[in-house]
């Protein structure tokens, strides 16, 4: 998720100071992505460097208000009208962890999967309880919070299904057939070969 674009979109409503921006961000996301004030000011300074925001006047309490520029408003419009592009090369820690664990001699991958499944189910139950406790989404803040929680619930459910799939798939292969010993051939310097990287040259589908 882009904190940069989200803060910029909030500023497109009107000038804000740092703490106010954090409060507005929390209102719209149900505090599911906590930001510290230092992170917000660092982002604002980068936005200022890029000509997307500018510092305004300070109020009687010393709060410096930041306001969006025309270029910033154009970037917000572009962000809102463009789809989020998911990169094909995965950086998901769990997927990498299981892929590596499946190739390590002597590792009980089933136990690794079960441990993760237990944690994932616990997280899913916690999210479902939070959604139930939140009641009906009547107001804009409640609705925005519910949208984020729903996304997290769907992601947790998908993770559990993927773990089940991974367990079933690995069960079809004897552990000794999956184990990879360290390669005896010394790798050459330079970029790794792309032969085993199915996503290296793939263009994103539209």
Quick one: pLDDT at residue 142? 82
Residue 206: pLDDT above 50? no
CB-count burial class (<10 Å; 0-12, 13-18, 19+) for 48: middle
Residue 45: pLDDT above 90? yes
The mean predicted confidence, pLDDT, of the chain is 84
Residue 199: pLDDT above 60? no
117-137 pLDDT, tens digit each? 999 999 999 999 988 776 666
Find the mean pLDDT for residues 79-88. 79
Between 92 and 182, where is the model more confident?
92
Rounded CA separation 30/33 (Å): 8
CB environment 161-197: b (16+ within 10 A), e (fewer)? eebeebbeebeeeeeeeeeeeeeeeeeeeeeeeeeee
- Nearest to residue 23, comparing CAs of 4, 42, 37? 37
Find the mean pLDDT for residues 45-61. 94
Could you tell me which residues come within 8 angstroms of residue 123 by beta carbon, excluding any fewer than 6 positions away?
156
Quick one: pLDDT at residue 135? 66
State which fold the 3-81 domain adopts: Arc Repressor Mutant, subunit A (1.10.10)
Q: Are 204 and 85 in contact (CB under 8 A)?
A: yes
Tokens of 206: 């539209």
């Amino acid at each position: 998720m882009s904190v940069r674009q989200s803060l910029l979109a909030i500023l497109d409503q009107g000038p804000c100071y740092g703490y106010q921006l954090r409060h507005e961000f929390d209102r719209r996301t149900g505090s599911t992505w906590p930001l510290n004030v230092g992170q917000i000011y660092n982002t604002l300074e980068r936005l200022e460097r890029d000509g997307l925001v500018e510092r305004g006047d300070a109020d009687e309490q010393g709060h410096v208000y930041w306001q969006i520029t025309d270029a910033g408003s154009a970037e917000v419009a572009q962000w809102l009208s463009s789809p989020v592009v998911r990169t094909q090369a995965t950086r998901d820690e769990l997927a990498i962890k299981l892929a590596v664990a499946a190739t390590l001699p002597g590792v009980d991958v089933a136990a690794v999967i079960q441990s993760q499944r237990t944690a994932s189910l616990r997280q899913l139950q916690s999210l479902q309880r939070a959604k139930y406790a939140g009641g009906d989404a009547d107001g804009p803040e409640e609705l925005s919070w519910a949208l984020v929680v729903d996304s997290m619930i769907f992601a947790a459910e998908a993770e559990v299904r993927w773990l089940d799939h991974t367990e079933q798939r690995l069960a079809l292969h004897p552990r000794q057939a999956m184990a990879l010993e360290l390669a005896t051939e010394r790798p050459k310097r330079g970029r790794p070969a792309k032969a085993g990287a199915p996503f290296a040259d793939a263009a994103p589908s539209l």
